[in-house]
Chains A and B, each alone.
Chain A
Amino acid sequence: MTGAEFSGVDIDLLADYIGGALEGTPDESVVATLIADDPRWRAAYETLGGRMAMVGAELGRLPAEPMPDDLAARLDEAFSAPRLTLVPGDPEAPAAAARKRAGRRMRWATPIAIAAGVVAFVGFGLDYLAGRDSAQENQATSAAGSAEQAPAAPPPTLSSGTDYTRATLTTAPVQPLDAASMPDSTFSAEKNSDRATGALPGLSRLAPLAALQACLDAIQRENAGGPLSVESVDYARFEGAPAVVVRFTAANGLWAWASGAECGTPAGGADTLAKLPVR
Chain B
Amino acid sequence: MTSGDGTAAPSDADLLRAHVEGDKQAFGELVRRHRDRLWAVALRTIGDREEAADAVQDALLSAHRNAARFRGDSAVTTWLHRIVVNACLDRIRRRQAHPTVPLPDGSRSEEGPSGVEPAAPAQDHDTALVVREALAALPADQRAAIVLVDVQGYPVAEAAEILGVAIGTIKSRCARGRAKMALALGDIAHPGEGNQEASTSVPSGPAADRRDQR
Contact = CB atoms under 8 A, between A and B. Distances in A.
A163 interface: no
Size bin of chain B's contact surface? 35 or more
A221 B211 CA distance: 38
Interface string B198-214: 11111111111001000
Contact of A14 (B27, B179, B181, B196): B179
A65 interface: yes
A240 to B, nearest CB: 23
Given A2-B194, A3-B202, A15-B178, A76 B211 contact: no
B204 A59 contact: no
B45 to A, nearest CB: 13
Query: Top 5 nearest A-B pairs by Cβ distance?
Result: A19-B175, A10-B205, A80-B28, A4-B198, A79-B28
Contacts of B182: 1, 48, 51-52, 54-55
Contacts of A39: none
Given A5-B198, A56-B178, 13 more contacts: A2-B186, A10-B207, A11-B179, A13-B205, A15-B179, A54-B189, A55-B182, A63-B120, A65-B118, A75-B60, A79-B28, A95-B61, A98-B57
A58 B127 contact: yes
Interface of B: 24-25, 27-29, 31-32, 35-36, 38-40, 43-44, 49-50, 53-54, 56-58, 60-61, 64-65, 98, 117-118, 120-121, 124, 127-128, 131-132, 134-135, 146, 150-151, 153, 168-169, 171-172, 174-176, 178-179, 181-183, 185-187, 189-190, 193-208, 211
Interface string A102-121: 01000000000000000000
Interface string A268-279: 000000000100
A133 interface: no
B61 A4 contact: no
A224 B203 contact: no
B176 A12 contact: yes
A237 interface: no
